[in-house]
Amino acid sequence: MAQVKGYIEKIKFRNEENGYTVMSVSGADDGEEYILVGTFSYLSEGEMIDASGSMTVHPVYGEQLQVEHYEILAPEDTVSMEKYLASGAIKGIGAALAKRIVKKFRQDTFRIMEEEPERLAEIKGISERMAMEISDQVEEKKEMRQAMMFLQGYGISMNLAVKIYKEYGPMVYTVLQKNPYKLADDISGVGFRMADEIAAKAGIAVDSDFRICSGILYTLVQASVNGNTCLPETELRAQAAEILGVDADLIDKHLMDMQIDKRIVVKLRPDGERMVYASRFYYMENGIAGMLHDLNISGNEPEEEIRKNLAIIQERDGITLDELQIQAVVQAVNRGLLVITGGPGTGKTTTINAIISYFEQGDMKILLAAPTGRAAKRMTEATGREAKTIHRLLEISGIPDEEDRINQALEGRSTMHFEKDEDNPLEADAVIIDEMSMVDVALMHSLLKAVSVGTRLILVGDVDQLPSVGPGNVLRDIIGSACVPVVRLTHIFRQAAKSDIIVNAHKINEGQPVDLGKRSEDFLFLKRADANAIINCMITLVRDKLPEYVKSGVYDVQIMTPMRKGALGVERLNRIFQQYLNPASPDKREKEMGDVLYREGDKVMQIKNNYQIEWKRRGRGGVILDEGTGIFNGDMGIIREINLPAELITVEFDEGHLVEYAFGDLDQLEHAYAITIHKSQGSEYPAVVVPVLSGPRVLMTRNLIYTAVTRARSCVCIVGLPDAFASMAENAMEQKRYSGLKDRIMEICL
């Protein structure tokens, strides 16, 4: 057994997935350079390591120590201390400052940093604030190293351990010992099975009360991933018993206990079916129902007067409203709450503009918002007034305080935090929200908390589109309750009727046949019989034909496909189109993570909400014009830079928001040359290309192809088999989504 003790001079290679590292170490006693290889917890250049293992001879790199055991030591002498501090391990300390610190405090340097950090301000060039920041870094590195060792004791890989520590910080011990199943909720790459293995290592028995309760909650969480806010009790019993590998009778006992502990809520539906909620979803839906009821108040302005004023606006603005649109304006003026729904070409935007003009005549303050950046941008273009994402409207902020964060993690609550709420409401006379079909229960609940009674709330969307990616059926449940004023626009206006995109979208929605052979300027069906022929046709369309046809860039042509897997799935199409639209070049840096290759110039999409990630918008000369936090599921951008030494990828999103991703966080991004139709919600593209071939009936549905077609502004090209398209258009099946908002609203208003 050989042993090496010394400073880590340079980390030559590091695999972030498993922690495998090659590094050079300067011997503490002899100053000789040693090469150490092995799997290590978090460490930095400049640190002192005491390692033991077997000396081996590499055919290329020569003698190296294959490390079997190691320990990171505090620097023992002034030379070691100075070397560590000068290595860059502590931000803000360079060689000159390191020399002054060690000269002043000598052997006492690290004790001062940990126990009396304010004394660092005695050094020229260190303020009191900087002294505390240095102390915090020293403590954080110490805590992180201890946590890495702790996590690896549970068989957790280096890369995953770093993610876990970033998520929980010092509370990681509490989470693992109290509820290791929480990892499956919060950490990408941890599923229930892995969490279950960790729980077993933590000594949690298979039939323990804690494990079964966690398994029930996990089943409900998994249901929420599929859009449900609740599950029928019979389905929950069966699913939880299968996941946990226990008898269903054990589930029954714990359901009662969990109700008593208020971790779940069980409600009877009008038909007698028992529905089980994770408590947070029940209280969200109940809260939404109550706040909608409070907002739903009536005004007393005479309708005749409203119509008279509206006629003046129509003449002034050169618009003509039909009776339904006029009714929408009347309701908007005289009601505190209104829903406007309708398909493409039915005048939703014109109606919104008429409502805005009416309100502005009365000097009312109006706020506009939509769920995504792209939808907000479209709203801005359509109204000529600033529209924000709902998150920005509510002023999303950073991480809550540590105590609340711990409670959120253990209870499964979201860690997103908005500055605008019931104590700090939106200052407006009216709030108009577009693309409401995309809004889930959590976002709706946060929005309503920030809208005061007396502020008009107008919700606009197409109820026939796919429901939100997140849990709930918000727009559909509100309309279905029949307790809220709803205006459904149905008339297709003459200008819109000239578009085959709009005409055919309505035919699809109404189950009418579409003439795929018609020569059209904006709706094309190209017949191809197999996947490879479809792909070849799409390459020609996306790369060569459509950008010029719609007078836009190649990345503005969006491929949308019904599925993720398979010959025409997102994963395969993205690999193929990366080769054709952004081929390898000596001028483009690349980074491979797992089986995904990221390249400068790639079109990418954020695939999970990240409320804390920071973005900056820069102007000429790199001057920062704006900055904030939050990038959200579905946001698209372009990889502008891959910095290999710093292990960072910079992505530019819509509105010029620049975000830096560490290599270990790239699981938040995926290529977006092709996206699923679900991910297209709320967006609009100059041209859309949709491959249509065979697929599962439960997936190939009418509202899926309807949503895809309505995402195109100037041209939609469908490539595949006419029979497959017809089958989708005829398939009115909708995936069952369990929610209770409709019932909650009806309980309050009836």
Structural domains present in the chain: 1-71 (2.40.50.140), 74-154 (1.10.150), 178-280 (1.10.10.2220), 293-492 (3.40.50.300), 512-584+597-730 (3.40.50.300)
Backbone φ, ψ for residue 368 (5° rounding): -120, 140
Phi, psi of 78 (to 5 degrees): -65, -35
Distance CA 439, CA 467 (A): 8
pLDDT tens for residues 53-109? 999 887 766 889 998 888 777 666 777 777 777 766 677 787 888 888 888 888 888
Distance between CA 393 and CA 399 in Å, rounded? 18
pLDDT digits (tens, 9 = 90+) for 574-585: 999 999 999 999
Strand partners, 717: 524, 689
- Residues that constitute the known binding site: 345-349
Q: What is the DSSP letter of 600?
A: T
Predicted confidence at residue 525, as pLDDT, reads: 96
Task: Give the best-scoring range by mean pLDDT among 54-58, 201-205, 327-331.
Answer: 327-331
pLDDT of residue 314: 93
* Cβ count near 44 (within 10 Å): 15
| Percent of all residues in the chain with a pLDDT value above 70, rounded to a whole number | 95
| For residue 332, pLDDT beyond 90 | yes
pLDDT of residue 730: 93
Angle at 412 between CA 408 and CA 413, to 5 degrees: 55
Angle at alpha carbon of residue 242, lines to 237 and 248, rounded to 5°: 40
- For the chain, give the mean pLDDT: 87
- Report residue 377's pLDDT band, with 50, 70 and 90 as the boundaries: confident
For 588, other C-beta atoms within 10 Å of its C-beta total 14
Other CB atoms closer than 10 Å to residue 498's CB: what's the count? 12
pLDDT score for 411: 43
- Positions at the binding site for ATP: 345-349
Q: What confidence score (pLDDT) does residue 17 get? A: 59
pLDDT tens profile 283-292: 999 999 999 9
pLDDT band (50, 70, 90) for residue 409: very low
Report the predicted TM-score, pTM, of the whole model to 2 decimal places.
0.76
